[in-house]
Amino acid sequence: MSQKQGRPGHFDGPDETTQVVDYTKLFRLDGRRAVVIGAGSGIGRESAMGLAAHGAEVICVDRDLAAAQATAARGRNLTAYGLDILDGAAIDQAVIDLGDLDVLVFTAATNVRKRLLDYSDMEFDRVVSLNLRASFDLVRAFGPGMVARGRGSIIGFSSIRAVAVEPGQGVYAATKAGLVQLLRTAAAELGPSGVRVNSIAPGIVDTPLTAQIQAIPEWAEAYASKSALGRWSRPDELVGAVVYLASDASSFVTGSQLFVDGGWTAIDGRYTPPQ
């Protein structure tokens, strides 16, 4: 977009070549194809449904094909595909099977809640393999197609644990911090080709991954009280961020981490003295 320049360092405004934007369609995804990894449940399921509701053709991908099919059965423009993202050969085949994509969203993650000195090699490898290595494999597999077409949006899910840790979550936190930097680097490397890469950092969300915490009332309440809103979030409350980053509404946003945490990271560590 060109602008008329007046005095040095200042612009007087756009000229007649300025593109007219239809803001009513800013979040629409009509004609775009999206893949959501982890669409069988939780945030992935809601993200798939949200993208489809805004016009995208969405492939619901999950290791549990039946769960992916159940998500696909919930609405229009949804199909299912079974994929274990720990299987590199299967990812390569998925790139062939799924064809050209405009949006890639991946939500799959795992956690072993143990202090570092109690971690086994197998547990460490399990968390790192899914949370970080598989994310790298997905970017490396689907990124070239987007680069070749000169467009695309890649959206990964980090966590508040990328910046705020607690005892027993060290390895999980390390993978999420690593994922943020991995995606920031991808944003820098793929940006010149028109591909945007961002991450979303949820706070405490009611999903199967947090069932262990929710099962203990004291823990559940303690976690809820840490956010400014004083509660857990629902998976559907992450959908707006996904649609935003997938759409033209975020056309100049890349290399960012968008916190959707109810204010957790804004006030983490606060102390409210007794009255």
The Cα 111–Cα 25 span in angstroms is: 38
CA–CA distances in Å: residue 164 to residues 5, 178, 257: 45, 14, 14
- Determine the straight-line distance between the first and last CA of the chain, rounded to whole angstroms: 57
Location of structure tokens 């998976």: 235
Alpha-carbon gap, residue 38 to 266, rounded angstroms: 28
CA distance 120 to 70: 35
- Distance, in Å, from the CA atom of 194 to the CA atom of 251, rounded to the nearest integer, reads 10
Catalytic positions, written as ranges: 172
Structure tokens that stand for 198 in this block: 């961002």
